Structure 1
Amino acid sequence: MSYAIIGFGNVGRALARAFARKGIEVFVATTRDPESFASDAAAIGSEIIPKTLSEAVKADIIFLAVRFESHPEVARALPTWQGKTVIDAMNTQAPPEELGGLPSSAVVAKAFTGAKLVKGFNHLVAAVLDQDPAVHGGRRAVFLASDNDAAAAEIGALAENLGFAPVKLGGLSEGGLLVQARGSSWAPLIFQDLFKRAS
C-alpha cells in the first residue's frame, strides 16, 4: 500500500510527521516543484518523499490537505480516481448555500470521480494533529465518515497504525456534517480533542 499527502502546509506537515513517527513512507506533493520543499520534508524524516503532483497521485491512499478552494485543481490531476481512497482532511467556511446544501465532503467526492472518499483527520487544529497521539494513557481520537464502509475500515486501520484511535461516524450526510465547518459556525465535533483510554 502506498500513501501520499497533497498539500504541505501546517496540516500536511503534521500528517507527514505522523507517518515519520511510525517509520511509514509517504509521498508529499503540492502544485509547486518538489525541490521547493525538499529540505522541509527531509527535516521531518527520510520517510517523507517529495514528489510532483502527477507522481504523488499514483499512490493508493491520498490525503487532501490543501485549501478547500484548491481541491478541483488536484482532482484534475487524474482522469479518473477509480481504485483510489481519498481522505478529505480539509475544512471550509463556505456557507451551505455555496455548497448546494451538501456536506463539504460530498462536494469533494463529486470532484474525485470514482474515488472512495473518507472525511477524516480534519477536526483537530494542525498544532494538535502534529503532536504524538499517545497521550493521557490513551490515544487521540480521529473521526472518520464515509459512504463506503470498506474505505472507512481501511482508513481506520491506517489511523491505528499511525497511533490514533479511529471513531467512525457513519456516512457523509450524517457523520460528515458533524466534522465540517458550516458557514460562520463550526460543527459539534470540530476542535474536540478527545482520547480513547487503553482498555
Structure 2
Amino acid sequence: NEYKFVFFDHLPENISVVNKATGEVLHSYTFTDEQPADTISFYVKEAIYIDKVLASPPGTLSATGRTGYKFIFPTMNRYSNSGYDGAIDAIIKKTNGEVLAVAQNITRDSFGTFVEFPFGPPPVITVELVKHGTTDPYVAGQQVIAQMVMQNNRSRLIVLEEKVNDNGTFAGVNATTNLVDYFDFL
C-alpha cells in the first residue's frame, strides 16, 4: 500500500504494524519531514518479524544453469536453547555428501553471504547449520540439517526456522520459506 502524510509543525508521523487478531504491535516506524519518503518492507509470521526485506535482494546468478541462496535465521535458539549467539554458516551439500557451497555469517537480523552453484540432478540438497568458521553444529552434540529442493536459474532468500515436536523439544530446522515468492525485487 502507498500512504501519504502531511507534516504539521515538523511533528513526526508514527506508523505501527499491528496484529489484527490480537492487537499486538509488531513493529513501529517514525517518519519525519526530514526524510518524508521511505519504503517499508517486512515479512511476518508467528513470532517472526523480518524488517527491510527489499533492502536485501536475492543474489544475481552469474550464468544460466545455476541456483543461488541467501539465508536468515530469525528463530535461532527459540527451541534449541543452544546458548550460541554468534553467526551461523550453512554448508550446502548434495545427497551424496559433496559440498556445493558454504553460505556464511547468517544471523537473526541479517542475511548471510550469497552463494551460487551449478544446478544438477538430483535436485534435493541438504543444508547443515554450523557455528561460523567451523564444522561444529550450533546445537552442541546434535547435527542440524534441513533439506531443500534446488530450482534451476533461480536465486532464493530462505528463512530458516527452528521447529519443535509435539512434546515441546527442539526437532530441527525448516528451510521452506522463500521470500522471493512474496516480494518483487526490482
**TM-score in terms of structure 1 length:** 0.22
Larger Cα-atom Rg: 2
**TM-score in terms of structure 2 length:** 0.23
